[in-house]
Amino acid sequence: MDEVFRLADEFGPARVVHIHRPAVGLRAIVVIDNTACGPAVGGVRMAPDVSLDECARLARAMTWKNAAAGLPHGGGKAVIFGDPKLPAEQKERRIRSFAQAIGDLADYIPGPDMGTDETCIGWIKDEIGRAVGLPSALGGIPLDEIGATGFGLASCIDVARSVAGFELKGARVAVQGFGAVGKHAARFLAEKGAILVAASDAKGTLADQDGLPVSKLIALKEAGGALSDFAGGDKGGTDAIIDVPCDIWIPAARPDVIRADNVMRLKTRLVVEGANIPLTMDAEQALHDRGVIVVPDFIANAGGVICASIEYRGGTQRAAFDYIDERIRSNTRVVLDESRRGGVTPRRAAQELAKTRVMAATATRRWR
């Protein structure tokens, strides 16, 4: 009894389901954390080393992200144990079997995450008629292709830079991780007059205080190249991006890249979190104490899940962009105002905002 409810608190999880189908080598866990705001939306992660704790933590993060974004969705997550690079046939069988097993979990809507892509989501939809992040042939909005999360980051940055007191035109931007999130953030910011002074990928950092050509770098990456293949700029190791002087620093790669031991190296006025948990809590606090604004992940990078939610409700790409822009701007403003008023970090203010929304939704539910 104690072990089963070890993860439980006042917000959830509402349901934890273990799935075991030895015939197809399927072992999976679904955590439906909280459904006060509506059916839970959250990705399906496939990796060999996933765990119940990871699944529960990610499901809770989705509860806050969806509530903060004002979506009619609670938070959930699923993990499938296994190598995401399984031979295609075996992977399809395992994912389809997973889908059949969650068919009756009507308050969980699965989406893509690490190790699953839109094709996997298409298989799930085929089995149970319910999923987000679909291929465009099935009515999906290709959120990574259109840059939904990067677009939301640019909206967030436009508000945060006005609070910090500088213009976007001419602002120097550094982007760690020039992938689906990072490259589109750079593109939308460049369209507003900002200057990309550094970008990094898994192979290294490219920097130039006079500005880098964003569209050429995107074309280079899309052709399968690395930033270090670009003829020009200064080249450095992956870590060198941390030392580049800039006005806006965007982590869009891995978790925990800025910690107590390297946070003092950042020379920026604003950090906007494209990746999930890219800064440790003590690093966020240290920057806050130095007067650097840090907009937390679940406010800044909500563009992707907002897009998925609009897709689920049959909306268009245009509607998704409008909603992302409006919602992320207003949330950023509220969170930074509350942070100033209360003298707390923007993350703390954002958590309060999300909790208040979940509690308001809970008050309307029969089983509280």
Binding footprint of ligand NAD on the chain (CB under 6 A): 143-144, 149, 176-182, 200-202, 238, 252-254, 274-276, 301, 304
Residue number with the shortest CB distance to ligand NAD?
179
Catalytic, out of 65, 77, 91, 183: 77
Q: What residue has token string 């990456």?
A: 221
Query: Between 14 and 64, whose beta carbon lies closer to ligand NAD?
Result: 64
Of the candidates 19, 65, 89, 143, the one whose C-alpha atom is nearest the C-alpha of residue 299 is 65
Closest approach of ligand NAD to the CB of residue 176, in Å: 5
Closest approach of ligand NAD to the CB of residue 210, in Å: 22
- Whether 194 and 166 have beta carbons less than 8 Å apart is answered as no
Query: Between 202 and 260, whose beta carbon lies closer to ligand NAD?
Result: 202
Cα angle for residues 238, 240, 244 (degrees, 5° grid): 135
Strand 108-112, strand 40-47: pairing = parallel
First to last CA, the chain: 21
Element housing 348 (H / E): helix 346-362
Query: Between 162 and 317, whose beta carbon lies closer to ligand NAD?
Result: 317
- Whether 333 and 299 have beta carbons less than 8 Å apart is answered as no
Instruction: Take residue 183 and report the two structure tokens written for it.
Output: 């490259």
Percent of residues in the chain assigned helix, strand, coil, to nearest 5? 45, 20, 35
Query: Between 97 and 149, whose beta carbon lies closer to ligand NAD?
Result: 149
State how far the Cα of 250 lies from the Cα of 336, in Å rounded to an integer: 17
Closest approach of ligand NAD to the CB of residue 275, in Å: 3
Q: Other C-beta atoms within 10 Å of 289: how many?
A: 9
Closest approach of ligand NAD to the CB of residue 183, in Å: 8
State how far the Cα of 161 lies from the Cα of 194, in Å rounded to an integer: 11
Strands (E), the chain: 15-21, 26-34, 40-47, 74-81, 108-112, 172-176, 195-201, 204-207, 234-236, 248-251, 270-272, 293-295
- Whether 76 and 40 have beta carbons less than 8 Å apart is answered as yes
- Whether 129 and 138 have beta carbons less than 8 Å apart is answered as no
Of the candidates 88, 100, 107, the one whose C-alpha atom is nearest the C-alpha of residue 28 is 100
Closest approach of ligand NAD to the CB of residue 235, in Å: 13
Instruction: Take residue 282 and report the two structure tokens written for it.
Output: 């003590």
Closest approach of ligand NAD to the CB of residue 21, in Å: 28
Query: Between 193 and 237, whose beta carbon lies closer to ligand NAD?
Result: 237
Query: Between 238 and 280, whose beta carbon lies closer to ligand NAD?
Result: 238
Query: Between 53 and 167, whose beta carbon lies closer to ligand NAD?
Result: 53
Closest approach of ligand NAD to the CB of residue 274, in Å: 5
Query: Quick check: is 91 catalytic?
Result: no
Residues belonging to the active site: 77
